[in-house]
Amino acid sequence: QVQLVESGGGLVQAGGSLRLSCAASVRTFSVYAMGWFRQVQGKEREFVAGFSWSGGTTRYADSVKGRFTISRDNAKTTVYLQMNGLKPEDTAIYYCAAVRTLAVVVPTIDDEYDYWGQGTQVTVSS
């Protein structure tokens, strides 16, 4: 069983930055593709950024390209999402997700992931 625990959310003014962390309790972290999703109440969960296994490939939603950076530390079994230039429309609950796969392509659909964290709230004020 894989457990994911997110942290780092909070309230920030527009233009500010936050760094989210996702600590994974897993032995072979490098064989898991990792992703960040976000969800606004009443809307579907949307893909934000992700890594293929071992970090070989990254992918970002168009809405966050150039502002968000995903990184992973396999030794610490942790994934990070650095969010710069935050906008009010980035306000959402952010979820970390994982799936064991050796595919090169980064999964971008939530149904492709098997494990989810509890989520962390990010609120950006205007």
Average the pLDDT over 72-80 and give the result. 91
Give the whole-angstrom CA distance, residue 20 versus residue 15. 16
Q: Are 67 and 47 in contact (CB under 8 A)?
A: no
| Pairing mode, strands 68-73 and 58-60 | unpaired
pLDDT at 26: 87
Q: Are strands 10-13 and 120-125 parallel, antiparallel or unpaired?
A: parallel
Under 8 Å between Cβ of 6 and 98: no
User: Taking all residues of the chain, what is their mean pLDDT, rounded to a whole number?
Assistant: 94
For residue 30, give every residue at least 6 positions away whose Cβ sits within 8 Å of its Cβ, in sequence order, or none. 53, 54, 55, 74
Mean pLDDT confidence for 114-125: 97
Residue 28's contacts (CB-CB under 8 Å, 6 or more residues apart) are none
* Mean pLDDT, residues 4-26 taken together: 97
pLDDT over 80 (residue 98): yes
Report the percentage of the chain scoring pLDDT > 70.
100
Place of tokens 């976000």: 38
Q: Cα 13 vs. chain centroid, distance in angstroms?
A: 20
| Rounded-to-integer distance, Cα 93 and Cα 102, Å | 28
C-alpha atoms less than 13 angstroms from C-alpha of 93 in its C-beta half-sphere: 14
